[in-house]
Amino acid sequence: MFDLEKEFDELMHSHSLFKNEHYLRYFYPSEEVVGRDNELRKLFLLYSNLLIHPNSSINVLVQGASGVGKTTVIKHFFKDFTKIAKQHNIDIKYLYFNCRMTSTYQILIKIARLFNKAFPERGLRREEIIEFISKEIHKNKASVIIILDEANNIIKKEKEFLYYLTRITENFGFKQEKLSIVGIVKSEKGLLRIMPNIVNYFQKNLIVFNTYSANELFDILKDKANRAFNTDIISNAMISYAIELLDGNLDVRAAMHLLYKAGKFAEQGKASTIKMIHLQRANISLFPYQYISFEFLKKMNIHQLLFLYSFTILLEKNKIEYASVKKIMNEYESQCVKRNFNPLSYSTIWNYLHIFEEESILKVRVVSENIKGRKARLSLKNISLEQLQPHLINSINNQEAILYGSK
């Protein structure tokens, strides 16, 4: 019977693995930018012009997939850029907007409030607000940078808004521009269909954020893990394994959430460190759609099934997370003897490994490619021991029943 008071008491007296779990939440601001020096350099080369010519404007379109650091880099850059500019008596202000959560009217109001904090929130027509902003920019010594994150949300609804924003001063006959715009979008292609001249609005300044490499993602996760977890909670090997589980989806947000969930699973199991099993469970909880079907087992022969079953026996019996092919072969041969099957050769079983990888069952780490002494270490990939083993037993029983003619 569930005892809430007991569970609460255990929670209060337990030792958390986390030092500050917020560092693994994507909305929490990063303290450092990792792996984006080139993009930071491009931003500086573009916006350094504001330091020399304060009356100018620089519009930039930033494009890249989710989880590649676009928002983090832009926020960091302009926070530091405006701070350093202020130290040199150059007044540059910036405002950040997430366009998915903000209307164009609210954007205009907040820009107006940069110059007058008492500016009314409602009751004025858009044209009146734009005129006020234009006049204030003209007479004010400050340059203003507007960051429109997920800008496609506004462009799809009100594509004329971008036109007016980029020409906010010239519409009223002022030559000094002083208003710069940074648009952040996931894909430039979709916007081109809506607004073919979109890049022209940003003065043809396009910065593309490519997907992180595995090494860059490792450095980012290492930094996040060091800040989020207590000392020695997660090893470098487990961080690398987390990246492997993402299976090519090198999305920082997904990777951070994977570490966070693994930490929670480890705490629930009262473990002192994060292990493969915790990462596997976290991966399954985050991407359950990958693990619904076990139809692939029906395509396998009895020896493939017995090899996999032997692997799960070793994991369960020895409380380990990976095993060598040699040790699995020893268990497989024992299982064959029990069932009166002649075991297949090492080389034949070796050829099955790519099938297991293709089905995302096992991760095969080759230790030696020597044809006479090929060695590999296997671990579960996109599936847990608890999920796989019952299905294996059922499939083996079905295969044996067919082979022995009881069906």
pLDDT digits (tens, 9 = 90+) for 124-144: 998 898 888 888 887 877 788
The angle at the Cα of 225, spanning 222 to 227, to the nearest 5 degrees, equals: 110
Closest CA to 246 of 209, 292, 290, 210: 290
Torsion angle in degrees (nearest 10) through CA of 102, 41, 169, 184: -20
Mean per-residue pLDDT, 244-265: 87
Residue 196 in this model has a pLDDT that exceeds 70: no
| DSSP character at residue 377 | E
- Top-level class of domain 295-403: mainly alpha
Phi, psi of 183 (to 5 degrees): -100, 130
Which residues make up the CATH 1.10.10.10 domain(s) of the chain?
Answer: 295-403
Of 13-22, 116-125, 301-310, 322-331, the least confident: 13-22
Q: Give the 3-state secondary structure of residue 144.
A: strand
Range with top average pLDDT, 63-72, 225-234, 350-359, 372-381: 225-234
Strands 375-380 and 362-368: antiparallel
Of 3-12, 271-280, 327-336, 352-361, the least confident: 3-12
| Mean pLDDT score of the chain | 84
Mean per-residue pLDDT, 49-73: 87
pLDDT of residue 289: 47
Mean per-residue pLDDT, 96-116: 91
Residue 180 in this model has a pLDDT that exceeds 70: yes
Q: How confident is the model at residue 2 (pLDDT cuts 50, 70, 90)?
A: low
Mean per-residue pLDDT, 58-84: 91
Of 6-15, 230-239, 317-326, the least confident: 6-15
Q: Position 170: which residue type?
A: E
Percent of the residues in the chain that have a pLDDT greater than 70, as a whole number:
85
pLDDT of residue 33: 83
- 320-330 tens-digit pLDDT: 888 999 999 99
Query: What does the alpha-carbon distance between residue 307 and residue 337 come to, in Å, rounded to a whole number?
Result: 13
Residue 12 in this model has a pLDDT that exceeds 80: no
CB 59 within 8 A of CB 166: yes
Q: How confident is the model at residue 250 (pLDDT cuts 50, 70, 90)?
A: confident
Residue 199 in this model has a pLDDT that exceeds 70: no
Pick the residue with more confidence: 359 or 348? Answer: 348
Architecture of domain 213-288: Orthogonal Bundle (1.10)
Which residues make up the CATH 1.10.8.60 domain(s) of the chain?
Answer: 213-288
Assess if CATH 3.40.190.10 describes domain 37-209.
no
Predicted TM-score (pTM) of the model is: 0.71
Torsion angle in degrees (nearest 10) through CA of 227, 229, 233, 236: -40
Give all strands of the β-sheet with 322-324 in edge-to-edge order: 322-324, 375-380, 362-368
Of 24-28, 114-118, 221-225, the least confident: 24-28
Pick the residue with more confidence: 187 or 64? Answer: 64
pLDDT of residue 55: 75
| DSSP character at residue 29 | P
pLDDT of residue 8: 57
Can you give 61-121 as a three-state secondary structure string? EEEECCCCCHHHHHHHHHHHHHHHHHHCCCCEEEEEEECCCCCHHHHHHHHHHHHCCCCCC
